[in-house]
Structure 1
Amino acid sequence: MENSIGPDHVYELVTVKEPTISPDGSSVVFTRGWVEKDSLKSHSQLMITATGFSEIPSPFTSGPKDSNPTYSPDGKFIAFIRPDENEIRQIWLISTMGGEAQRLSSFSYGVQEMIWSPDATQIVVVSDVAEDESDGQEFTKDASKVRVVKNIRYREDGLGWRGSLYRQIFVLDVSSGGTNQVTFAKGDHWSPSWSPDGTRIAFVSDMENDRDIEDSNAAYVISSEGSEPEKWSHGLITVERPVWSPCGNKIAVFGSQDPKADVWSQGWIYVLQVDHLPSRVTDDSIKPQAGYSGAASSATRIIWNKDDNLFMVADAQSKSYVYKLSLRNGSAERVVGGREEWSAISFTPDADKACSVVSTDSSPSDIAVVDLMSGEVEILTNYNRVYLEKHKPASVERFISKGNGLNIDCRLYIPPDFDSSASYPLVLTIHGGPHSAYYDDFSPTQQVLATNGYLVLAVNPRGSSTYGLDFMKSVQEDWGGEDFRDIMAAVELVSSRSYVDEQRLGITGYSYGGYMTAWAVGQDDRFNAAVVGAPCIDLTSMYGTSDIGVSFGEIEWGGTRQQGLDGYLKHSPITYADRVNTPVLLLHGEQDLRCPISQSEQYFVALRRARVHAEFVRFPECSHGFLRSGPVDMRREYFSRMLDWFNRYL
């Protein structure tokens, strides 16, 4: 289709992320990312723009790999991340008046998080520290270079071999560059937060749990000079993003008390106080954006103002909003949102303004400033306007399908030149997770397919997040059950429309979506083509090879492999490979530790042995998350092969 959004969009679209707003709310600094077409290298630099003046953002640093800016509390400096000569992420400092940036840190394993102290004299930093060989896994000292594994959690997708590395917390002095390590326990420590007077640091750690088996953690408080950590979150299973009250005697966190519902899938807001049990202040009608397990930098910020209001980004029914939560009367008010996705938010100290990344179904990302009192929004960027004018995105229809008495949220992506009197192929797309959701944001998979002439169906079946605790947990120990029936009910509903060609149906998904794609073609012959991305196929082997096979798998699949073997086999797509009649394309990153490539290897052999037409494409040096942040040429290749497969068979 002429001027469609094709695989080359990975070169063409500009990304904006990581905004930080000045203390007085007058300016915003953010990261702009783009791809240099000739070299296929990704670049990023910091941009600055004023608020309230419709100003075109100006370059603030030269790049080429600058990111993660944050204003100092006095507004005089920007701290940001820039790789050193060894490509290790370090903190650099630049005056808000401009000039040359100065390197501030020299961490051996780089910087993962950084937060300014209230007086702007120190920065709390999260960085890896290697323990002694006896404390974990290490290279042996002999010439054989073997690696000895003693713990289950010795690798992590996207990071690779972790060995005896643990995330620890440091305090860095801005004037001298000196550092002081303040946490030392075995375990990861992250999400630090300064107390208002700068004497204490709250943080999250998994140091006390059986971290090999459980994905649980707790909130702790230590002196900023270092002390024995004091646990504040007694009774909570998982927590994220601690923030102090203005008076410094309480902490608010995203948290969960449910061992089968972590804070990243369905969390609540809790208020913590030393020697008190946590007090929950929200219900499950909203889900705070808590990021991903162990990756606090992916979480959105939260702030507690002098009027005892909390401001945060949270989701409800697959829509995102900026919320104002009153701790005095328990009310939760939507400040803005509902038609776009809000994320990566930064607040002024008095919480009268915020800046955030916003995405719509027709625009990938922009920086917006919102007045938290009036809800008025100002869009500060528009980098992709020209491209999107020439390559018109698909429109989106949102509708409800019925699944065993439940409302199932669906979205149909419609080609730009849609003609209701014509006939169109339909491709079903399935999200990952399973505790995730499709939002009102820009989805490359849906847009590439829809603007190339396909109707594209996106369903949030049972198991999806943002619809409440019971809805989210209903898929546990039932993968391929009610979730599959919800999805197929939506397919049947859309297929009944006159412009849908039921003889040209495709299906695709990634991760859990890849699982469900493989499951579907083993249960139903109606699909004419399937593209299976980075799936889990055999739950029995997934349990022992995935970096989250134990902690995640035991909750989702029904206990250990030995305890739940019958269920593992029953719910594994590979069990039904001999029933498949649909042509299958497998796409998988070779460095995937979340859903290891051995899952696709097994499925490919099973399909070919059953005389099913299948192809298997391996993506070198690509982890599970490579479609978001992997090599640009590999991302383009993924979309290109997906589109070619559907063009061939549909």
Structure 2
Amino acid sequence: MRPDDIAKFRVPDTPTISPDGTDMVFSLNHLELSPDEYRSQLWTVPANGSAEPRRLTHGPADADPAYSPDGRWLAFCRTVEGGVPQLWVMPTGGGEPRCLTDATLGVSSPLWSPDSKYIAFRSRVPEPGRYGTAEGVTPDREPPRRVTSFTYRANGTGFVVDRPAHVFVIDPHTEGSAPVQVTAGSFDHGRAAFSPDSQRLVFVAARHDGAGDDLRVDVWTCATDGTDLRALTSGGLRARTALFTPDGRNVCFVALDLAQVDGEAPSLRSYSVWIVPADGSGAPSELTDPADTHVLRWAAEPIATVADGVVYANENRGAVDLVLAPYDGGPARTLVGGRRQAYGFTVTRDLTAVVAAVGSDTCPGEIVVREADGTERTLTGFADSLRDVRLAPMEEVTATAPDGYPVHGWIVRPAGSGPHPVVLLVHGGPHTQYGWELFDEAQVYAGAGYAVVMGNPRGSSGYGRAHGQAGARDFCTASVAPDLLALLDAALLDSDLDGDRVGVMGGSYGGTMTAWLAAHHGGRFRTAVTERGMYAFDSFAATSDHGWCIVNDLDASRWPECSPLTYAGNIGIPTLIIHSEQDLVCPLEQAQRLFFALKRAGTAVELIIFPGEGHELSRSGLPSHRISRFEVILDWLARHL
């Protein structure tokens, strides 16, 4: 695989299923090198696989499709050239789509009421005079912002303190109908879902005193006109993605338990599935076992409620399974599993069909349907766009850390005979996982002749709560290094891998660990490539969009000893630092401080800064920037490894 082969990826997103179960609609995403943009259109395919997928819309950027329950309409979000996403609807029986909104900052997350009369959606509402709402007032001429809480910016968005997200409801059937704002206040509100009788909404929001200074997010419900607002939870949880059960008696939601447990860190704890009475008559309870549940927090819709329980996307040793948790507390059962990842899904209420977007180590994604009897069909063949690209399969490798702890990982091997130079790749988070997906980075490095070693040391998700919490007391710096080195040593037992030519690299938390390994175990490596990392706790706490809550997990007196910058003088191997100018997760100053320290110490170092990009450069940055990044890294590895 070459860097520009990322333009050949065709990736379907979360599907929606027609009420009669006969058809699926999904957005298909790809990038174009010219004009250097991302594109997405809506496609449809019969559920029985009787016909090939066909395109419904021509974009340029259509996403978030949602069937009306009566099957007559399809709602979706469309972004036209130079604009922001707006809400559109089109008749399923044929006809042109029409736009329903003109929101200044765009809309997201459309969802129909069960009676098909209304659509709820989410939109950020700017303060008067900001973000183009006052004629002739450019951003540099806006009045000053007043900041009073820790939470006031978000990576990829910018300032949020002056443009809270609110819930709206619109009648899509009446020409000229205006959206009605349901929520109010200076609080961010999550996606809203209707009750089965279409009379109420449920959503998550942090509306308590002190919101923005802690991690608490509660579940709220109100009438569809915004009246009778009441909370269903009262703290102790960081909730997201709330849905009514089909009978309307309860609300299920995903949440992070914020309860203080000695030695544990909330940032290294996984989300699980909870349930609470919809009338507010009881306290929430956990439906899933917190010891081994890892709800995929990156998914737009990580749960779905059905008659018998909640279906959720669960991380599991590098896979993402679809699992059913019964309401009665019975044992959970896997619906879709295997060496693959289900990253978006929908289900019928009676669970006669589960439709999912599923990828693997050699497939970027296909639409798969699973019937009630367990029969499974793949409805699409978009991976054919990569048929002329050699994709290296992931080979499992296991290791034993010095204390006897097992470590799980993979080798992605280049073509031809070795010995191949080796790259140890460290994932971000740290509470995330590498796994069974087509990871463009591993494939590009393997395509250039490097054997990639990657795995999930302690601190990762998908291996149980104890595994994630193992490095809580040092933010997984000192404690994780032995796991990574043990995995590397196990991989190097393969004579195809050259133990004398090894580099280490990673992004975000992986960048932090790369700098840590370079400082403490530099003799193992010839070079380091560290990206968008956190290198100094003291400034990260103040400048990161969520640094304040990360550092709460570590006593301030220990910040220096857990910061890679403290040991920068020990880094003697050539080091490449890559960072984005608009990164708000790990701000640019982190890279500048590390670069300054290495440059001053006489270490061979280069700093590459990408303009206009945020923390997600490697995943969703400009296509030209993503390719440039690959070229920079491959050039560096060629020179130093």
State the TM-score, normalizing by the size of structure 2: 0.93
Residue 16 of structure 2 corresponds to residue 16 of structure 1? no
SS at match of 2:455: strand
Q: Is contact 1:311–1:351 with CA below 8 Å preserved after alignment? A: no
Aligned to 2:275: 271
Deviation at 1:190, TM superposition (A): 0.6
Q: 1:235 to 1:38 in 2, by over 3 A?
A: closer
SS at match of 1:535: coil
| Between 280-289 and 141-150, the greater mean CA deviation after superposition | 141-150
Q: 1:141 to 1:606 in 2, by over 3 A?
A: closer
Residue 41 of structure 2 corresponds to residue 39 of structure 1? no
Aligned to 1:280: 286
Deviation at 1:446, TM superposition (A): 0.9
| Between 251-260 and 197-206, the greater mean CA deviation after superposition | 251-260
Deviation at 1:318, TM superposition (A): 2.7
Q: Is contact 1:209–1:216 with CA below 8 Å preserved after alignment? A: no
Aligned length: 625
SS at match of 1:603: helix
Aligned to 1:513: 510
Q: Distance in 2 between matches of 1:449 and 1:576?
A: 28
Alpha-carbon deviations, 1:475-508, whole Å to 9, x = none? Answer: 2231312111211121122223333212100111
Structure 1 unaligned runs (5+)? 559-563
Q: Distance in 2 between matches of 1:470 and 1:634?
A: 38
Q: Which of these residues, 35, 59, 62, is aligned with residue 58 of structure 2?
A: 62
Q: Is contact 1:254–1:263 with CA below 8 Å preserved after alignment? A: no
Q: 1:228 to 1:186 in 2, by over 3 A?
A: farther
- Which amino acid is the alignment partner of residue 206 of structure 1? A
Aligned to 1:126: 122
Deviation at 1:235, TM superposition (A): 5.1
Q: Is contact 2:398–2:490 with CA below 8 Å preserved after alignment? A: no
Aligned to 1:522: 519
SS at match of 1:520: helix
SS at match of 1:446: helix
| Between 79-88 and 589-598, the greater mean CA deviation after superposition | 79-88
Q: Is contact 1:112–1:126 with CA below 8 Å preserved after alignment? A: yes
SS at match of 2:192: strand
Q: Distance in 1 between matches of 2:161 and 2:326?
A: 44
| Between 213-222 and 196-205, the greater mean CA deviation after superposition | 213-222
Deviation at 1:285, TM superposition (A): 4.8
Q: Is contact 1:395–1:415 with CA below 8 Å preserved after alignment? A: no
Alpha-carbon deviations, 1:202-253, whole Å to 9, x = none? Answer: 1100111533321220111111121242111235411222221222111112
Residue 502 of structure 2 corresponds to residue 498 of structure 1? no
Aligned to 1:96: 92
| Between 89-98 and 78-87, the greater mean CA deviation after superposition | 78-87
Alpha-carbon deviations, 1:369-413, whole Å to 9, x = none? Answer: 222x223222122223242x3221112221322232322211111
Q: Which of these residues, 440, 446, 456, is aligned with residue 444 of structure 1?
A: 440
Aligned to 1:399: 397
- Which amino acid is the alignment partner of residue 382 of structure 2? Y
Q: Which of these residues, 586, 589, 593, is aligned with residue 598 of structure 1?
A: 589
Q: 1:148 to 1:386 in 2, by over 3 A?
A: closer
Q: 1:262 to 1:167 in 2, by over 3 A?
A: farther
Aligned to 1:219: 219
Q: 1:50 to 1:184 in 2, by over 3 A?
A: same
- Which amino acid is the alignment partner of residue 271 of structure 1? I
Q: Distance in 1 between matches of 2:464 and 2:211?
A: 27
Q: Distance in 1 between matches of 2:441 and 2:82?
A: 35
SS at match of 1:8: helix
Q: Is contact 1:241–1:302 with CA below 8 Å preserved after alignment? A: no
- Which amino acid is the alignment partner of residue 477 of structure 1? R
Q: 1:288 to 1:223 in 2, by over 3 A?
A: farther
Q: Distance in 2 between matches of 1:390 and 1:255?
A: 43
Q: 1:272 to 1:401 in 2, by over 3 A?
A: same
Q: Is contact 2:155–2:585 with CA below 8 Å preserved after alignment? A: yes
SS at match of 1:93: strand
Q: Distance in 2 between matches of 1:94 and 1:425?
A: 53
Q: 1:142 to 1:445 in 2, by over 3 A?
A: closer
Q: Distance in 1 between matches of 2:59 and 2:639?
A: 42
Aligned to 1:408: 407
Q: Which of these residues, 296, 303, 306, is aligned with residue 304 of structure 1?
A: 306
SS at match of 2:395: strand
Residue 615 of structure 2 corresponds to residue 616 of structure 1? no
Q: Distance in 2 between matches of 1:268 and 1:610?
A: 46
Aligned to 1:326: 326
Aligned to 2:297: 291
Q: Distance in 2 between matches of 1:464 and 1:627?
A: 20
Q: Distance in 1 between matches of 2:141 and 2:242?
A: 45
Aligned to 1:561: none
- Which amino acid is the alignment partner of residue 302 of structure 2? T
Alpha-carbon deviations, 1:295-345, whole Å to 9, x = none? Answer: xx723231221xx23222222233221112222351111112121000111
Q: Distance in 1 between matches of 2:222 and 2:638?
A: 58
Q: 1:599 to 1:146 in 2, by over 3 A?
A: farther
Structure 2 unaligned runs (5+)? none
Q: Distance in 2 between matches of 1:7 and 1:147?
A: 43
Q: Report percent identity of matched pairs.
A: 28
Aligned to 1:7: 3
SS at match of 2:13: strand
Q: Distance in 2 between matches of 1:142 and 1:454?
A: 46
Deviation at 1:368, TM superposition (A): 1.5
| Between 241-250 and 89-98, the greater mean CA deviation after superposition | 241-250
Deviation at 1:366, TM superposition (A): 1.6
Residue 630 of structure 2 corresponds to residue 642 of structure 1? no
Q: Distance in 2 between matches of 1:143 and 1:116?
A: 39
Aligned to 2:168: 170
Aligned to 2:539: 541
Aligned-residue Cα RMSD (Å) equals: 2.3
- Which amino acid is the alignment partner of residue 596 of structure 1? P
Superposed, 1:551-590 pairs within 5 Å as 551-555=549-553, 557-558=554-555, 564=556, 566-590=557-581
Q: Distance in 2 between matches of 1:251 and 1:518?
A: 44
Q: 1:209 to 1:454 in 2, by over 3 A?
A: farther
Alpha-carbon deviations, 1:156-176, whole Å to 9, x = none? Answer: 100112241111111111123
Q: Is contact 1:41–1:632 with CA below 8 Å preserved after alignment? A: yes
Aligned to 1:198: 198
Deviation at 1:520, TM superposition (A): 0.6
Q: Is contact 1:243–1:304 with CA below 8 Å preserved after alignment? A: no
- Which amino acid is the alignment partner of residue 191 of structure 1? R
Q: Is contact 2:49–2:379 with CA below 8 Å preserved after alignment? A: no
| Between 596-605 and 5-14, the greater mean CA deviation after superposition | 5-14
Q: 1:394 to 1:522 in 2, by over 3 A?
A: same
SS at match of 2:615: coil
- Which amino acid is the alignment partner of residue 637 of structure 1? S
Q: Distance in 1 between matches of 2:103 and 2:448?
A: 47
Aligned to 1:158: 156
Q: Is contact 2:60–2:80 with CA below 8 Å preserved after alignment? A: no
State the TM-score, normalizing by the size of structure 1: 0.92
Q: Distance in 2 between matches of 1:475 and 1:191?
A: 33
SS at match of 1:641: helix
Q: Which of these residues, 617, 621, 631, is aligned with residue 630 of structure 1?
A: 621
